[in-house]
Amino acid sequence: MTWIACELHTHTFHSDGRQSLNELALGAKALGFDCIALTDHNTMAGLARKEQIERETGLLIIPGMEWTTFFGHMVIIGVKDYQDWRRVGPGDIHAGLARVHEQGGLAGMAHPFRPGSPMCTGCFWEFEIRDWNEIDYIEVWSTTFAPVKKNNIRAYRLWTDKLNEGFRLAATSGRDWHLQERTDAPLSVTYLRIQEGEAPFTERAIEALSSGRVSVTLGPRLDLEVNVNGEVYQIGDAVKGSDERERLASVKVLADFTSRHEHWHLPEQSFTVSLKSNLGVLSEHAAMPEQLPLHTEISVQGLLWMRAELWGIIQGVRTLIAFTNAIYFD
Amino acid sequence: MKKVIVDARGRVTPASSKSHIIHRFFLASAGGRLGINFWYGPKQLEDLEKARTLVERSIDLYFEEETIAQAKAHFKSYLPLNNLITVSVDSPNGHLGAAHRHDPEQFLHISRHEASPGLVCGDIVAGMWEVTLSLHAIVTDYCEYSLQIWQEEEAAQ
Ligand SMILES: [Zn+2]
Ligand SMILES: [Zn+2]
């Protein structure tokens, strides 16, 4: 399996973006991305030249759209055909989700806490969710310099709450990228860990996101491994249950400071590597990049999930810099 | 030759926010291209006090308690408030896309060979067509719109 750098929320002039798919693809390539999802508002017309642009730019493109409804914005990716949003009312989102899943696609809540109507109708998620198992992911980091923004901190908390309730759903970033402009603001990357193989790329990307093999960052790519009784589990995996009462796991947190390193800058510093779970903070260590990977032992008693977080200073602000998706415990 | 099929004007108020207006019309003959000219206005809510009231109401709804006061102090960062109406098209054979844009005036067209951004090419077939106006936000006391739809010969390729 390989980690690939993705930007999962983008627009072209086929909706309200100010760029062509070709300009978007070239821009993404120049920023070190391997893949984007095109998520224009309520149309898939922008994908007409997808294969040609993929060949010419070397960038992979996941087809999608942003359901820009009156009651919530929902990014749907990996769908083959347009899905109609216009008849969906605030209590009907599960019918929409079923159609997305029937098509082999995934659905994520886009920027769920961005202020809504009348500033931006539907930007705040108001759909009633009766079964959180149907939500595949939450875009917890929206726009640039995402982790310092209140809406995103709230979305990250929502994700954590749902993990605590026992749901297994992924968390991603999305720039909501509308035009090519120079910016010094830190950019988020969603890394997906993709299976090699003959299957079409979109299918493998969807499988990775659906399995929670996801790591999100402003800089280095964070990774997490758990070893229980000699078995190694990766991000997205579920550690099998066991009868033994006192179980210990050895946990390894890794960070790849070489991935896309020419596209981000972090001052030299001691970072904080934190292991979070449904039981709160499991461990916290200060570490210089050269001190990683970090090894620690924890008890898995009562654990439902665990993730790694990297905290530090970027552009003068102390903030969350990277987080992995969860490893679960049966 | 240009054959006008729909020529409508309308006036909506904030009560119509989050609703759709569907124009369903019959094309008697196939072929050529479909043209759509859509306009609405005013675009912006100019009245600062009204805008402030709307923004504050929205902040009460969408912000967490401890951030409300600060957000209200910066209510101007959410201005101007705009009306937003978008256009989508359905042929008798299926959906032909949407033009989700903020421009208050749009000239759109569809034919077998080409289509405006957001719309997809499709045969102009005879039968019942639909053009949907989606009223995402109406913030002014009233908003007027006009919609003309016509069928014409396609320019030579
Ligand atoms: Zn959106
Ligand atoms: Zn968007």
| Interface pTM, i.e. ipTM | 0.96
Do residues A90 and A227 share a domain? no
Indicate the pairing of strand A317-324 with strand B84-91: unpaired
Helix A21-30 / helix A50-57 crossing angle, nearest 10 deg: 30
Residues A61 and A170 in one domain: yes
- Do residue A127 and residue A199 come from a single domain? yes
- Nearest C-alpha of chain B: how many angstroms from A42? 6
A205 half-sphere exposure, CB direction, 13 A CA radius: 24
Average pLDDT over residues A242-265: 88
Pair A127, A17 in one domain: yes
Write the burial class of residue B130 (CB in 10 Å: 0-12 exposed, 13-18 middle, 19+ buried).
Answer: middle
Q: Do A57 and A162 sit in the same domain of this protein?
A: yes
Question: What would the mean pLDDT of A213-231 be, rounded to a whole number?
Answer: 96
Give the chain B residue whose CA is nearest to the CA of A42.
Answer: B98
d(CA A82, CA A65): 8
Element (H, E) at A50: helix A50-57
Do A194 and A1 form a contact (C-beta atoms < 8 A)? yes
Q: Tens place of pLDDT for every residue, chain B, 157 residues?
A: 899 999 999 999 999 999 999 999 999 999 999 999 999 999 999 999 999 999 999 999 999 999 999 999 999 999 999 999 999 999 999 999 999 999 999 999 999 999 999 999 999 999 999 999 999 999 999 999 999 999 999 875 5
Ligand 1 centroid to Cα of residue A101, in Å, is 20
Task: State mean pLDDT over A226-234.
Answer: 94
Judge if A31 and A111 occupy the same domain: yes
Residue ending a domain, among A184, A200, A216, is A216
Is residue A205 domain-shared with residue A232, that is, in the same domain?
Answer: no
Question: Does A238 lie in the same domain as A313?
Answer: yes
Per-residue model confidence (pLDDT) at position A229: 87
Band the pLDDT of A245: cuts 50, 70, 90: low
The pLDDT assigned to A4 comes to: 98
Among A160, A188, A216, residue at a domain's last position: A216
- Residue where one domain finishes, among candidates A163, A186, A216: A216
What distance in Å separates residue A168's CA from the closest CA in chain B?
26
Please indicate whether, in this complex, the C-beta atoms of A116 and B58 are within 8 angstroms of each other.
Answer: yes
Residues A138 and A30 in one domain: yes
The structural domain count of chain A equals 2
Distance CA B43, CA B84 (A): 8
Task: Say what percent of chain A tops pLDDT 70.
Answer: 98
**pLDDT for position A241:** 78
- Structure pTM? 0.97
Question: Is the domain of A166 the same as that of A96?
Answer: yes
Q: Do A118 and B137 form a contact (C-beta atoms < 8 A)?
A: yes
- A108 and A226 both lie in a single domain: no
Report the CATH number that the domain containing residue A235 is assigned in CATH: 2.60.40
**Alpha-carbon torsion (B100, B101, B103, B109), positive or negative:** negative
pLDDT at A125 over 60: yes
Q: Are residues A39 and A54 in the same domain?
A: yes
Reported as type and span, the H/E element at residue B156 is none
Q: How confident is the model at residue A246 (pLDDT cuts 50, 70, 90)?
A: low
pLDDT at A244: 61
CB contacts of B78 in chain A (<8 Å) are: 115, 119
Q: Give the residue numbers spanning the domain of A309.
A: 218-329
Name B11's bridge partners. Answer: B144
